[in-house]
Amino acid sequence: MKMNQLHRNISSLEIAEMVGRNHPDVMRDIRKIRTHLGESRIAETYFIESAYTDIQNKSQPCFLLTKKGCELFGTRMTGEKGTQFAVKYIERFNEMEEHIQQRMPADPVELALQTSLKNYQEIKGIKEDVDLLKDSMRIDGRQEFAIKSQGKAKVLETLGGYNSPAYNSLSKKVFSRMWRDFKNHFVLPRSPDLPKARFDEAVRYIAMWRPDTSTAIEIESYNNQSQLKLVQ
């Protein structure tokens, strides 16, 4: 398999030929780079998952590299090897561009429509990438401070304040459980990893949080014991 002419992609098979390496080694490097890019769809603008049919007529995985993907892959090579690879992939993309130009319509109206459609798709793709970045961004320092402060206030309210017997005996336990519940609800390894887009939801969650029944009974028991002592 060579390249996807219309979409300006080069397969990892051809990349392996260009750099004189085994295809599995090239695939391994690309997967490592994709891991560094994270789980967002941005990685797809560099390396597109695909497949090819081998000589045994079996489907095998490969990647289609965009021009950005080739540039990023090329950063792993230095000196003469890096230069030779750059020359090869640039020439291939120039060939693809010439091929596409030959297939462009002669009708200026049709050409204008195709250009408009291409621009729309590119803008839409950029917007989708921005939206994905917004969704994956973590809360900033100010928001983290606000959530921690609200969580502390909620636990204090639940225990009955700083001077309550329950606070003196159970504060560490209740703080731990509140943040454990918070992380479980939002599926987080740490509370600061909360996505920025879910900040308002986190504020509502803390406001509505209640301890489990056993802990609530324990809090009430400690505070009631103190009241009984005062009465006596």
Segment 32-82, tens digit of pLDDT? 988 888 766 788 888 999 999 999 999 999 999 998 889 889 888 878 888
One-letter amino acid for residue 84 of the chain:
Q
Range with the largest mean pLDDT of 71-85, 122-136, 207-221: 207-221
What percent of the chain clears pLDDT 70, i.e. is strictly above it?
84
Task: Supply the pLDDT for residue 120.
Answer: 78
List strands edge to edge, sheet with 9-11: 3-4, 9-11, 59-65, 47-53
Q: Please tell me the distance from the alpha carbon of residue 65 to that of residue 73, in angstroms, as a whole number.
A: 9
- Check residue 104 and give its pLDDT: 59
Distance CA 164, CA 178 (A): 18
Closest-CA residue to 176 (of 159, 195, 164): 159
pLDDT beyond 70 at 7 = no
Give the pLDDT score at 103.
Answer: 63
- Would the pTM count as exceeding 0.95? no
pLDDT at position 44 is 84
The pLDDT of residue 6 is 47
Q: Which two tokens stand for residue 171?
A: 């504060």
| Amino acid 137: pLDDT | 84
**Max mean pLDDT range (7-16, 93-102, 123-132, 208-217):** 208-217
Over 80: is that where the pLDDT of 133 sits?
no
Whole-number Å distance between alpha carbons of 54 and 63: 14
CA dist 114 and 81 (Å) reads 38
Q: Which comes out higher in pLDDT, residue 81 or 198?
A: 198
Residues in contact with 52: Cβ distance below 8 Å, sequence separation at least 6, in sequence order? 1, 11, 13, 59, 60, 62
Report pLDDT for 65. Answer: 92
